Chain A
Amino acid sequence: MGALEAVILTIITASTPLLIAAIGELVAERSGVLNLGVEGMMAIGAVSGFGAALVTGSPGLGILAGIGAGAGLSLLFAFLTLTLAANQVATGLALTLLGLGLAGLIGEPLVGQPGVKLAPVVLGLDVLVFASFLLTAAVAYVLFRTRLGLVIRAVGTSHHSAHALGHGVIAVRYGCVMFGGACAGLAGAYLSLAYTPQWIETMTAGRGWIALALVVFASWRPWRVAIGAYLFGTVTILGFYVQASGIGIPSQFLSSLPYLVTIAALVALSGKGTFTRINTPACLGQSFVPDR
């Protein structure tokens, strides 16, 4: 394998989980729901996917379990924020705590077990890499070319008008939140089945938060999320390359580079008056309680 090929392959596997998680969160946010629990849902997805694959021997079933677990946890979030109209930011944080804690507790007997690896299909890439792009294309299509997408965006832009037009605001949001949860769970399962086939509590390592930042960075546009995910993956991996080539930059600085780049990107793209403002779902983070 050539050196360049190796770099590209590494970057792709580092970027894929970010892309999957971020695209799911994008759909939830487009419907007006800010779910900060991505990290927790990823952890639950990772542990469930790993455990299911270990028990059944099938990575495919592991992936399904990851998706199911992520969606399941997001259902709790949806119930609290949509049915009970709880504060979305706080509930998202609670979901992160609960997800990480539960994943740690469930996963205790799984620590240190060699897992089942999702085998690559073409060019050293696994099927989920291709799936992540299909997912991006599908989300872009549905959001901007179909009636369903129109309804989702309407609900996120003005829930009162959407409600007045007869759309089921709460039902649409339930669907979008659970789609986001399923994607986060899938991203988690990618970590524990394809990225490093093993389970450890800290394996999500803040990727859920990066995914959240990517959505803002991408100003809620699916293909920009893909660009952002790959940009972030590249910065992370190049940090290791700079180190391995023996240049004496403090490794802590290189490790913090992806975070600094994210902040810089957020600043550059949230500049007042740019299109970010226009794209931001106007009802993002607001509870909706229908007046009868």
Chain B
Amino acid sequence: MKKLLGGFLALAMGLAIAGASAEDKLKVGFIYVGPVGDHGWTYQHDQGRLALEQALGDKVTTTFIESVSEGPDAERAIERLARDGHGLIFTTSFGFMESTLKVAERFPEVKFEHATGYKQAPNVATYSARFYEGRYVIGQIAARTSKTGIAGYIASFPIPEVVSGINAFMLGAQSVNPEFKLKVVWVNSWYDPGKEADAAKVLIGQGADIITQHTDSSAPLQIAEAQGAHGFGQASDMIKFAPKAQLTSILDNWADYYVERTKAVLDGTWASGDVWGGMAAGMVRMATYTNLPEDVAKAAAETEARIKSGELLVFAGPIKKQDGSVAVEAGKSLPDPDILGMNWYVAGVDDTLPQ
């Protein structure tokens, strides 16, 4: 027994030494909240990681730990990577915020990048994308193509990112049809195909012929496909799940950011900060416009270009809240902190925001 244990230990040590031979390369770690195969949020982050290996493969090695639950386990997973000699660690979910900061304090020489959070430290930067810009575009498409004038919105959790997405969608739709209606169903999950499918069926049953979602599975699109409705992909291009139903998809693109930040660490120019990139930065992109009349596709591409150039601001006034009060005055635009903490609906949304 003792001998066997000794053998194990020797093996484990051998492994540690084998790991050390790649020491001259920068080790970049990723902590994912879901499985890499979710075809949504985590999948796109992993695409970014693969792009990073592609671009800087001779200078970096990458590691990831998937399906890390948000809570005490996250801290250990992050610390494991830090102890393993990683020089740069991306933690890709909001719920990793406190854990990232705690580990960062113990490993001041390691650089951390936390997605969608709002707390920085000298060695912790934050980054996120302005997904709401894409939702404005799909809101316009919805209003232009819907025959019933009603869209269904499958939402995950009432956090500001989701709420601002609903509002952006509604503002886009209202810019085309002020009478447009939006029904919202909260499924309380980021990924539950069964629930998302049920919600899609219910929404279609209530007259919605356009389904959009802020959840990560392709189930709602599949339902839209089966029932002759239309919808939009989420995070990644989901056209293969719904070749007839998908109109376009909002794509998260982290690749450029990951390459850029890794280069900064290699050059020694890395500094903490907060990046909130949208279409202009290429962090948010639209998939090919399909299954659309030509004029609608053209209008969508134009809107996309205007957002990209900064000519069109999604949350530019005048915007009224649901209760009729003024949210943004004409001629002004909502500042970033207010978008980041959004907890009200624009007028016209047919739902009560969970408080």
Contacts and interface: CB of A to CB of B under 8 A. Distances in A.
Question: Is there a contact between chains A and B in the complex with CB atoms less than 8 Å apart?
Answer: yes
Nearest to B202: A240
Contacts of B178: none
A196 interface: yes
Given A202-B192, A203-B194, A240-B198, A246 B207 contact: no
Given A112-B43, A240-B198, A246-B350, A200 B191 contact: yes
Contacts of A247: 352
Interface in A231-254: 236-237, 240-241, 243-248, 250-252
Contact of A196 (B184, B188, B219, B227): B219
A241 B39 contact: no
Interface stretch (A2-10, A21-29, A130-138): A2-10
Interface string B239-275: 0110000000000000000000000000000000000
A209 B240 CA distance: 33
A262 B201 CA distance: 24
Contacts of A198: 193, 217-219, 222, 241
Contacts of B227: 1
A191 interface: yes
Nearest to B219: A196
Interface in B64-110: none
A247 B187 CA distance: 15
B188 A255 contact: yes
Contacts of B217: 196, 198, 200
Nearest to A204: B194
B314 interface: no
Given A117-B226, A196-B222, A3 B354 contact: no
A196 B226 contact: no
Interface string B200-242: 0111111100000000011100100011000000000000110
Contacts of A240: 185, 198-199, 202
Given A244-B183, A246-B350, A246-B351, A3 B192 contact: no
A103 to B, nearest CB: 13
Given A108-B37, A196-B219, A200-B193, 13 more contacts: A3-B207, A191-B194, A196-B197, A198-B217, A205-B194, A205-B195, A237-B198, A240-B185, A240-B198, A240-B199, A243-B185, A244-B183, A248-B354
A126 to B, nearest CB: 11
A1 B192 CA distance: 26
A200 B202 CA distance: 22
Given A198-B222, A200-B193, A205-B192, A243 B186 contact: yes
A111 interface: yes
A14 interface: yes
Interface string A207-228: 0000000000000000000000
Contacts of B199: 240, 244
Interface residues of B, number: 40
B38 interface: yes
A209 B48 CA distance: 39
B22 to A, nearest CB: 26
B278 interface: no
B202 A237 contact: yes
9 contacts: A3-B205, A109-B37, A111-B39, A112-B38, A241-B202, A244-B152, A244-B206, A250-B354, A255-B188
B277 interface: no
Contacts of A236: 198
A197 B194 contact: no
A3 B206 contact: yes
A201 interface: yes
A6 B192 contact: no
A112 B186 contact: no
Nearest to B223: A196
B282 interface: no
A3 B148 CA distance: 13
A196 B352 contact: no
A6 B201 contact: yes
Nearest to A191: B194
User: Which of A109, A111, A198, A244 counts the most chain B CB atoms within 10 A?
Assistant: A244
Nearest to A252: B188
A259 interface: no
Among B38, B193, B241, residue most surrounded by chain A Cβ atoms (within 10 Å):
B193
B35 interface: yes
A111 B38 contact: yes
B259 to A, nearest CB: 24
A111 B203 contact: no
A146 to B, nearest CB: 36
> Which of A7, A109, A243 has the most CB atoms of chain B within a 10 A radius of its CB?
A243
A109 B36 CA distance: 10
Nearest to A236: B198
A196 B350 CA distance: 27
Contacts of A3: 205-207
B207 A111 contact: no
A197 B191 CA distance: 15
Contacts of B196: 196
Q: Which of A7, A200, A250 has the most CB of B within 10 A?
A: A200
Contacts of B43: 112
A290 to B, nearest CB: 39
A203 B35 contact: no
Interface in B140-157: 152
